[in-house]
Homo-oligomer: A and B are copies of this chain.
Amino acid sequence: MTPILFALPGNEAMTAQLSALSGWEQGSLQVRRFPDGESYVRYHSEVKGRQVVLVCTLDRPDDRFMPMYFAASIARDLGAASVGLVAPYLAYMRHDAIFNPGEGITSAHFARLVSGVFHWMVTIDPHLHRHHDLAEIYTIPTRVVRAAPAISQWIAANVPQPLVIGPDSESEQWAAEVARGAGCPCIVLEKIRRGDHDVEVSVPDTERWLHHTPVIVDDIASTARTMIAAVGHVRKAGLPPPLCVAVHPLFAGSAFEDLQASGVASTASCDTVPHSSNAIPVASLLAPALADMTGAAA
């Protein structure tokens, strides 16, 4: 029997795409809130003996956790053979160190919760910085899918004369991979320190890129401050208005509107988090990973 996919609220489109790509059934899962704010979860499809795959992206995670946890626990109660999680965006990965006394590594605490109720997890480009591998904090098998191939393909198909730009040194490897896949050049914005308080960010070799379309790529757009700063540097250097591409379009508060107002040509994002900027589908990258994790034929 093939695995069965269930969407947590907001993940219906991604789940339908994964179902179409894998040929696996999409089951019916009811999730609602009681008036008092408690969550109610009910399976309307039979899960006994089946490999259950829950699709739940984890932007704004606090509110999403409990229904997801109940859905996994109930699938286990109902006799599911296994319960896997597809989290196109994985939460709490940026709290990966103790910066001040009295803090904790919440990435590890969150990983313990997820590892306690799921049998495996697949995610896209988690923010691996001080943790180098999810296995450092997750005790269940995990699979990381890279969004770069989808972004490269989108750039190659949609952008004339692209120049991929990494907004800071942390994004260097990431931007280089995207550019390589798109067959285009790549630069990373450079910090030039002139003194203790005099730091300028500059675009290297500006002259060379005046007839290219700048494409600023970053993994997470939350407040979008990094991107907005990069847009400013690119414009100041005299390049044309840039495109912005984000893997995970969190866009907190007015971040998206602020970015749109900052002088961009337009903004595109992967559909790891549902957002009006979604233009780059990632389901086809997830599907083979799901097939591997469930051990079923795709």
Contacts and interface: CB of A to CB of B under 8 A. Distances in A.
Interface of A: 30, 33-45, 59-63, 65-67, 69-70, 73-74, 77-78, 91-92, 94-95, 100, 102-106, 109, 112-113, 116, 222-223, 250, 252-253, 255
A66 B114 CA distance: 12
A162 B36 CA distance: 30
Among A62, A91, A105, the one with the most B-chain Cβ atoms within 10 Å of its Cβ is A62
A33 B40 CA distance: 25
Contact of A36 (B33, B39, B40, B59): B59
14 contacts: A33-B62, A35-B252, A36-B60, A37-B61, A38-B61, A39-B62, A42-B103, A44-B102, A63-B63, A73-B109, A74-B104, A77-B104, A78-B102, A113-B113
Contacts of A69: 109, 113
A42 B113 CA distance: 19
B61 A106 contact: no
Contacts of A105: 77
A95 B74 CA distance: 12
A228 to B, nearest CB: 14
A67 B255 CA distance: 24
Nearest to A60: B37
Contacts of A77: 104-105
B62 A92 contact: no
Among A43, A66, A105, the one with the most B-chain Cβ atoms within 10 Å of its Cβ is A66
Contacts of A255: 35
B223 A42 contact: no
Contact of A65 (B45, B62, B73, B100): B62
A103 B74 contact: yes
A222 to B, nearest CB: 4
Given A35-B252, A36-B60, A37-B60, A70 B116 contact: no
Nearest to A64: B62
B61 A91 contact: no
A112 B112 CA distance: 13
Nearest to A74: B104
Nearest to A67: B62
B109 A38 contact: no
Contacts of A44: 102
Given A65-B66, A66-B65, A67-B62, A73 B35 contact: no
Contacts of A102: 30, 42-45, 74, 78
